[in-house]
């Protein structure tokens, strides 16, 4: 267990970053937390830490300030979202390269012991994701390089930047390739939401408004695997503590089509079967994607536990409560 360490979490105001801070605080670490969003827009609030800063980590001076006297750095920060965001904001997504680069330089200068980079399944070669059901992606499938345009190129390039900082300067590196992480405190409206949250929201709203139809992007046959946030955090901590420095999948191998995921959410919500209005002109991304977990099992002796239907139930219940508290379609996380 990581305990009694001084840890910088960059992107602490985001979805995964927020859950990570919570866990590291519970494990009795001293946390310095940063995010570009003003504090009132962070996804979670941490009473135990007073050391949080709203700052742009694309600026090297900010990176230098917060890496002083720190043991470990977790870089969970990037400008991201689901397909609706990354497909329409490629230049924005690629600028996150400045965060990782300047954070690595500052970490080297301030002699950080270990550095974590949150990469993505978007780093994988697109040609290996053209069929509806695919074999899970193995870590080597990122090469030859042909990742998701914009966001995926930034992730792959930044992985390599990490690797060279390890080779040339001796910083210990850990890299996770996350596969569509979902759960409570994730974005569910405003344009950055991923499919699990977007479809839970649509079904909650259809039920509330007595509508018999929802919009679905694409033909619904495209596949993904989705990992519940608690498993993501457990895998992240275990990877960080391991001695493995190459990229590792942190994902699920429970591959479902978007239609199958909608079936699961309809069951949870107890609505009658809704009509599906397939919108073929909306962002679709790759045709099929899933995680191969051989390597994670081998190096961490660990596998995720939460099945999609159980994770979706927790997410659905959380979101129903949020929507009844705040109202739906409130753009609560993207204001600045
Ligand atoms: N977002 C969203 N909203 N997607 C929908 C919807 C909807 O209402 N309806 C259907 N989909 C479909 C999309 O068209 C896409 O084919 C699939 O659901 C998955 O979409 P997302 O969850 O938005 O993105 P992704 O799985 O292609 O990529 C996400 O995960 C990656 C890691 O695996 C993104 O968040 C990436 O940024 C991330 O790296």
| Domains identified in the chain and CATH numbers | 6-182+228-252+291-305 (3.40.50.720)
Residue whose CA lies nearest to ligand 1 atom number 30: 180
Out of 82, 126, 154, give the residue to mutate to test ligand 1, the one with the largest number of ligand atoms within 8 Å of its CB.
Answer: 82
Nearest CA to ligand 1 atom 8: 198
Q: Active-site residues: which are they?
A: 151
CA of 303 from ligand 1 middle (Å) equals: 23
Taking only the tens place, the pLDDT of each residue in 229-281 is 999 999 999 999 999 999 999 999 999 999 999 999 999 999 989 999 999 99
Cα of 325 from ligand 1 centre, angstroms? 26
Q: What was the pLDDT predicted at 330?
A: 46
| CB of residue 83 inside a 6 A radius of ligand 1 | yes
Give me the pLDDT at residue 328, please. 52
CA distances from 317 to 116, 204, 313, 320, 327 (A): 31, 10, 6, 5, 15
- Give the residue-averaged pLDDT of 204-225: 97
Write the pLDDT tens digit of every residue in 24-61: 999 999 999 999 999 889 999 876 567 899 999 999 99
pTM of the model: 0.96
| More confident position, 49 or 285 | 285
pLDDT at 336 over 90: no
Cα-to-centroid distance, 315 and ligand 1 (Å): 16
Which pLDDT does position 50 carry in this prediction? 74
Residue 220 near ligand 1, beta carbon < 6 Å: no
pLDDT at 48: 57
Quick one: pLDDT at residue 327?
A: 64
Quote the Cα angle for 160-164-170, to 5°.
135
Mean pLDDT of 203-232: 98
For atom 20 of ligand 1, which residue has the closest CA? Answer: 195
Indicate which residue's Cα is closest to atom 4 of ligand 1.
195
Mean pLDDT of all residues in 99-114: 98
Tens-digit pLDDT profile for residues 141-194: 999 999 999 999 999 999 999 999 999 999 999 999 999 999 999 999 999 999
């Amino acid at each position: 267990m990581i305990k009694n360490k001084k840890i910088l979490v960059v992107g602490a105001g985001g979805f995964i970053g927020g859950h990570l801070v919570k866990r590291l605080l519970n494990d009795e670490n001293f946390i310095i937390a940063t995010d570009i969003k003003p504090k009132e827009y962070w996804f979670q609030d941490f009473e135990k830490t007073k050391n949080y800063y709203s700052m742009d980590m694309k600026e090297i001076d900010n990176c230098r300030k917060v890496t002083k006297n720190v043991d470990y750095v977790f870089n969970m920060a990037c400008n991201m979202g689901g397909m609706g965001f990354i497909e329409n904001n490629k230049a924005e997504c690629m600028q996150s390269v400045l965060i990782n680069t300047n954070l690595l330089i500052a970490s080297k200068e301030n002699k950080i012991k270990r550095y974590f980079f949150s990469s993505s399944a978007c780093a994988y070669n697109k040609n290996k994701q053209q069929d509806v059901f695919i074999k899970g992606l193995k870590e080597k499938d990122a090469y030859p390089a042909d990742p998701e345009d914009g966001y995926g190129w930034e992730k792959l390039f930044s992985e390599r930047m990490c690797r060279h900082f390890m080779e040339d300067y001796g910083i210990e590196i850990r890299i996770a390739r996350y596969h569509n992480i979902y759960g409570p405190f994730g974005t569910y409206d405003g344009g950055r939401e991923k499919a699990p949250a977007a479809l839970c929201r649509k079904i909650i709203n259809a039920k509330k408004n007595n509508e018999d139809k929802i919009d679905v992007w694409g033909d619904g046959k495209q596949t993904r695997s989705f990992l519940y946030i608690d498993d993501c955090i457990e895998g992240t901590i275990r990877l960080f503590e391991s001695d493995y420095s190459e990229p590792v999948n942190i994902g699920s191998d429970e591959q479902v089509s978007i239609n199958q995921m909608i079936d699961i959410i309809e069951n949870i919500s107890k609505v009658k079967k809704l009509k599906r209005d397939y919108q073929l002109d909306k962002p679709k991304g790759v045709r099929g994607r899933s995680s191969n977990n051989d390597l994670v099992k081998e190096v961490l002796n660990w596998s995720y536990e939460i099945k999609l239907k159980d994770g979706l139930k927790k997410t659905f219940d959380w979101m129903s409560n949020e929507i009844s508290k705040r109202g739906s379609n409130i753009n609560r996380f993207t204001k600045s």
